[in-house]
């Protein structure tokens, strides 16, 4: 599959997730594109003009549907949260906080928990397990921010979502 075909695949997955579980993102334009130099499997951003985007790493081409659903549920959780923030709070307050490791951990783990509450526990678990088991050094370097597969399972059981 070409890069363009993967982008189309990702957009279809996100559209289904939005219609099923992220109603505040319906009718919002979300650009999805691949970028080989990002440090994560994917990242999300809303710019000054309220344009939303999800960048994906080429490694996602190898992901099966369930792992992609887990990953995009996490990223859409970020976007839904970003939409609750005022323009000022997103662009300036969050812009300063994002340089704090403590804040990064909080934001990433809250996105995980939000995806769990939306019903994407097993998909998130599978995606995260593949990252934890990966030999990719960059992925290993970023683990400190996210819930581990074991913590995802533990939280999911506690919330009745496993």
C-alpha span between 131 and 143 (Å, rounded): 9
Give residue 12's domain range: 3-158
12-27 mean pLDDT? 97
What's the rounded Cα separation, in Å, for the pair 150 and 162?
12
Stated pTM of the model = 0.93
- Per-residue confidence band for 133, with pLDDT thresholds at 50, 70 and 90: confident
**pLDDT tens for each residue of 24-74:** 999 999 999 999 888 888 999 988 777 899 999 999 999 999 999 999 999
Question: Taking a C-beta distance cutoff of 8 angstroms, is the pair 143, 132 a contact?
Answer: yes
| pLDDT score at 50 | 79
- The confidence score (pLDDT) of residue 140 equals 60
Q: Is 39 exposed, middle or buried (0-12, 13-18, 19+ CB in 10 A)?
A: exposed
Decide: helix, strand or coil at residue 43: strand
Residues facing residue 34 across a β-bridge: 56
pLDDT at residue 15 above 90? yes
Q: Tell me the average pLDDT of the chain.
A: 91
Say what the pLDDT of residue 144 is. 87
Task: Note whether 43 and 146 are within 8 A (CB).
Answer: no
pLDDT score for 54 = 97
Predicted confidence band of residue 108 (pLDDT cuts 50, 70, 90): very high
Given a cut of 90, is residue 118 above it in pLDDT?
A: yes
Q: With a cut of 80, say whether residue 142 has pLDDT above it.
A: no
Full 3-state SS string of 11-35: HHHHHHHHHHHCHHHCCCCEEEEEC
Is the per-residue pLDDT at 80 higher than 90?
yes
Label residue 139 by pLDDT band (50, 70, 90): low
Which two tokens mark 146?
């996210």
Mean pLDDT (whole number) for 83-106:
88
DSSP state of 59: G
How remote is the C-alpha of 35 from its chain's centroid?
A: 15
Residues contacting residue 76 through CB under 8 Å, at least 6 positions apart: 14, 17, 18, 21, 22, 25, 115
Domain count, the chain: 1
pLDDT of residue 157: 96
Classified as helix, coil or strand, 93 is helix
């Amino acid at each position: 599959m070409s890069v363009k075909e993967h982008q189309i695949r990702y957009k279809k997955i996100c559209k289904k997730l939005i219609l099923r579980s992220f109603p505040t993102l319906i009718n919002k334009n979300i650009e999805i594109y691949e970028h080989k130099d990002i440090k994560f499997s994917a990242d999300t951003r809303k710019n000054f003009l309220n344009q939303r985007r999800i960048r994906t790493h080429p490694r996602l081409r190898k992901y099966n549907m369930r792992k992609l659903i887990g990953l995009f549920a996490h990223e859409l959780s970020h976007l839904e949260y970003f939409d609750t923030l005022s323009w000022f709070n997103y662009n300036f307050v969050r812009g300063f906080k994002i340089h704090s490791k403590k804040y990064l951990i909080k934001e990433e783990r809250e996105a995980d928990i939000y995806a769990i509450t939306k019903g994407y526990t097993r998909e998130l678990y599978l995606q995260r397990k593949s990252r934890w088991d990966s030999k990719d050094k960059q992925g290993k370097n970023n683990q400190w921010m996210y819930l581990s597969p074991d913590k995802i399972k533990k939280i999911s059981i506690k919330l009745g979502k496993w």
